[in-house]
Structures are given as structure tokens and as C-alpha cells.
């Protein structure tokens, strides 16, 4: 490894600070911000530090404020650097003194040479005083759990006995769960492949396509990944094809398909003669669907269109099955995408609900009489789930909720709701948070 003039870890701290700054200042997603470092030698470290800091930002930032004479006078890059260094001091096993030294060099990498003395002084005080600093901010539930107050109130209202568990699950590291293509390999065969490769795994007991790794790893090292035999997908997300109940020869629409995980799963489980159309509004995201399907050696009709406007793409021939995995607040997948805590705003929920309602109304128009529509989100908020369906069904007599497995039959720890079933993040099933409901179109009405 080539030697650098910087202290070990300085480049990773600088990269993580830049990624955090892009999220805070530019409103970019963490994935987009971290994409700039895909070719960096420190890519893995940058990602780990940045995501960890984002996860705990709402606890770390307030704990640093008393150490800043004028918090608003600190430049955004330097403020981000202080946070990522504070994360390493509080949450990593690195010696605090080494982190402070690396942070000073990271300031130089960020071309903030004049701030090196300031960074050094603030972080040394944080090392000495962090117990009392964090104890002060931890008096607030929002700071202690690193969640915005408005979201805590929504979770508490929706889940008065479970919200504390949800908050804790959101701050945990998510498992890496795989989806097996049963047409190409059995689970027993794949578990043997993993064992032979020295990869420890756990067999999922309630869905046959899922295996969870004990330790996350690069997908390139997974047996059969390049050949399309296995994909990365949360076990909760793997429930959709079974609920859709596809039959031979049916026309199926994946209405909000990108990046293609559920599209691929539908194709893997589709009976003979099923044709699948996958739609997304963004051309770049449709390109990702195409890439994923090519790896899986599968094909579908891919369409770039706004699914809420069927007149722009639909040929008028009804679909027998429609999957609506609607764009949502993603409050069920915060443990995978902690930037949601920083990027979401209270008003976003109503905007998502309006979009979801428009998509559902359009999907109902394209559904054949007697056809089935599966509605799912990765939200845990009723406004996007059963509350939304209640509004829609009240306005549309042509649609009604139809049979689906009860919570006990769907996944361990799932909760029956007035309409549909909710999985909570990190509950007994260990999945992300997902909502599912099955609906049917009558021969009259819509």
C-alpha cells in the first residue's frame, strides 16, 4: 500500500465528512452521496463511517454544540468532519487520540487548513467531556434515539406499545438476507455452497426463498450471484409474489418497479405463459431494472411512464394481476437508509399519500374484473397504509379487500390491521417494516 502524508484513517474521515455534508447541505440521499467514492481505496470505511454518523447525527450534533463558540460560524464541511470524528470516538473501537489526529489531517485534505487547530481543540474536549455532553442531550427522547421529534410522535400515535422497539430497530444494523431462485437451486444446495465457501448463514423458517448471512459481505463474493441464482432482498419484501397469486397465462403489471428486485422475484416464480410489464417513471431507474434482469437471465416488458397516467402507455388490455409497491416515506427501512431521518419532513407524508392514491386509482382502471391487486409499502405509518386504503375504498365501490394470510400466517410478529397486515422493523421476523394488502376488482364499479 502506498504511503500517504496523512495519519491513518484521515482519508476515510474526509470522505465520510464530504458524504455527510452532501446529505445535510444538498439534500442528497446517502447512496447518491457515497456513490462519489465507489472507486476510492477507502470506500468501505467511508461508507461505514458516513452511515454510522448519519444514523446517530441527531444525537452527535447537539452534543458538540456546547463546544462551539458560534455553531453557525462553523463551515459545513468542518461541521460534518467534527460529527464523523465524534462518531468514531463514541461508537468505534479506534483509540480516541488516533481519531483526533486523523481528523486534523482530514481537515487538511478538505482544504480547511485554517480549521486544524479548531478541530483539534473541539475534539479533544469532546474526548474529555463526552460522557457529560451526551448525558445532557440524552434527556431528550429525540436526541437519545436520534430521531426527529415529529416522527417519534407519529410512531407513538400509530404504535403506542411498540414505538420504542421501532426506534431501537431503526438504529440497529440490518441483516443481509438473500433471495434464492428456486428454479435454479434448492435452499439445501445453496446452504451447502455457502458452508463450503466458509460463509455462515441462517435458514429462514417462514419463507422458503430466504437465507440470512451472519455477517454481511460483498455480493461479488456470493456463490451464484453473478449467474443470477441469488439476489439480496429483505425477507419481508419476498412476500409479494405469493400474495399476488399468479396463474398460468396471466398478464401482470409491476406498477412501481425500480430497481427491479420484486420484478425479478415475480419472474422467478411466474407460472408458464405469464407476461410481466414493469413500469417506472424514471428512465435511469428503468435502466437499473434492465441491468438487474440481465443478471438474473430474465426478461420483462420495460416501460418508462407515469403509472398514474395510463393513457400515456396502456394499450387498454386489462391486467389480471397488479403489484403496487408504492413510493412512500420509507419509514420501515430506516435501519438500511438512516438518511431518511434527516431528509424527511412532516409534510412529506401527505404528499406521498396523494401520490399513492393517484397510483391506486390508475391501477384499478387497468385491472381486469376479478383481478387481484397487491398494495405494499415500506412504511409503518397508517396514513400511507390502511388509512389510505380506507379513503380509497370509500370512494371506489368497484374494489374490495380480499383474502390473504392473517398476520400469524404471513410472518412471525406481523400485526393484523383494520385493512391488511403490517410487519414492523426488527420484530420477531427480523425483517424491515412492510405493509401488505390484497384487493380485488368486482365485475361492476371501476
Helix axes 96-109 and 76-91, enclosed angle (nearest 10): 160
Contacts of 54 (CB under 8 A, 6+ apart): 20, 23, 30, 338, 339, 341, 342
**Residue 414: which of 184, 134, 171, 207 has the closest Cα?**
207
328 included as an active-site residue: no
Q: What's the burial of 196, exposed, middle or buried (CB within 10 Å: 0-12/13-18/19+)?
A: exposed
DSSP 214: S
**Residue 329: which of 311, 343, 315, 309 has the closest Cα?**
343
**Residue 247: which of 271, 277, 275, 278 has the closest Cα?**
271
Q: Where are the alpha helices (DSSP H) in 279-396?
A: 283-296, 340-343, 348-366, 386-395
* Count of beta carbons in the 10 Å neighbourhood of residue 11: 21
Task: Specify the 3-state DSSP secondary structure of 392.
Answer: helix
DSSP 430: -
Residues in the chain: 446
Adjacent-strand bridge partners of 230: 180
- Report the Cα–Cα distance between both ends of the chain, in Å, rounded: 65
Helix (H) or strand (E) holding 84: helix 76-91
Question: Which of 83, 229, 378, 438 is the catalytic position?
Answer: 378
* SS3 annotation, 88-128: HHHHCCCCHHHHHHHHHHHHHHCCCHHHHHHHHHHHHHHHH
40/25 Cα distance (integer angstroms): 22
40/219 Cα distance (integer angstroms): 18
Residues that are catalytic: 378
Amino acid at each position: 500500500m502506498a504511503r500517504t502524508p496523512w495519519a491513518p484513517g484521515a482519508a476515510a474521515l474526509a470522505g465520510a465528512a464530504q458524504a455527510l455534508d452532501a446529505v445535510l447541505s444538498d439534500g442528497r440521499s446517502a447512496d447518491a452521496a457515497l456513490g462519489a467514492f465507489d472507486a476510492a481505496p477507502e470506500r468501505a470505511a467511508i461508507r461505514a463511517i458516513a452511515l454510522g454518523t448519519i444514523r446517530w447525527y441527531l444525537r452527535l450534533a447537539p452534543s458538540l454544540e456546547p463546544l462551539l463558540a458560534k455553531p453557525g460560524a462553523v463551515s459545513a464541511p468542518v461541521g460534518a468532519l467534527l460529527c464523523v470524528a465524534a462518531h468514531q470516538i463514541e461508537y468505534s473501537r479506534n483509540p480516541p487520540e488516533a481519531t483526533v489526529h486523523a481528523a486534523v489531517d482530514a481537515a487538511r485534505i478538505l482544504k480547511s487548513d485554517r480549521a486544524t487547530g479548531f478541530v483539534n481543540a473541539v475534539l479533544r474536549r469532546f474526548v474529555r467531556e463526552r460522557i457529560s455532553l451526551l448525558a445532557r442531550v440524552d434527556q431528550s427522547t429525540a436526541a437519545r434515539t436520534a430521531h426527529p421529534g415529529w416522527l417519534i410522535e407519529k410512531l407513538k400515535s400509530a404504535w403506542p406499545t411498540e414505538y420504542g422497539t421501532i426506534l431501537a430497530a431503526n438504529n440497529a444494523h440490518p441483516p443481509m438476507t438473500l433471495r434464492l431462485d428456486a428454479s435454479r437451486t434448492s435452499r439445501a444446495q445453496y446452504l451447502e455452497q455457502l458452508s463450503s465457501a466458509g460463509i455462515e448463514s441462517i435458514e429462514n423458517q417462514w419463507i422458503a426463498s430466504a437465507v440470512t448471512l451472519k455477517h454481511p459481505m460483498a455480493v461479488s463474493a456470493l456463490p451464484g450471484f453473478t449467474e443470477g441464482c441469488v439476489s439480496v432482498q429483505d425477507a419481508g419484501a419476498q412476500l409479494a409474489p405469493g400474495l399476488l397469486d399468479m396463474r398460468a397465462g396471466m398478464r401482470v403489471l409491476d406498477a412501481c418497479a425500480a430497481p427491479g428486485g420484486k420484478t425479478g422475484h415475480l419472474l422467478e416464480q411466474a407460472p408458464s405463459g405469464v407476461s410481466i410489464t414493469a413500469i417506472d417513471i424514471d428512465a435511469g431507474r428503468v435502466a437499473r431494472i434492465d441491468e438487474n434482469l440481465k443478471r438474473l437471465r430474465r426478461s420483462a416488458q420495460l416501460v418508462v411512464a407515469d403509472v398514474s397516467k395510463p393513457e400515456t402507455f396502456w394499450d387498454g388490455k386489462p391486467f389480471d394481476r397488479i403489484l403496487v409497491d408504492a413510493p412512500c416515506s420509507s419509514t420501515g427501512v430506516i435501519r438500511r437508509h438512516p438518511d431518511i431521518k434527516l431528509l424527511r419532513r412532516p409534510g412529506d407524508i401527505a404528499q406521498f399519500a396523494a401520490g399513492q392514491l393517484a397510483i391506486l386509482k390508475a391501477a384499478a382502471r387497468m385491472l381486469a374484473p376479478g383481478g387481484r391487486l397487491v398494495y405494499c409499502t415500506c412504511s409503518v405509518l397508517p396514513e400511507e397504509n390502511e388509512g389510505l386504503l380506507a379513503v380509497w375504498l370509500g370512494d371506489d365501490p368497484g374494489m374490495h379487500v380480499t383474502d390473504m394470510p392473517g398476520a400469524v400466517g404471513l410472518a412471525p410478529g406481523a400485526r393484523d390491521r383494520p385493512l391488511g397486515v403490517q410487519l414492523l422493523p426488527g420484530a420477531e421476523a427480523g425483517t424491515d417494516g412492510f405493509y401488505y394488502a390484497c384487493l380485488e376488482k368486482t365485475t361492476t364499479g371501476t
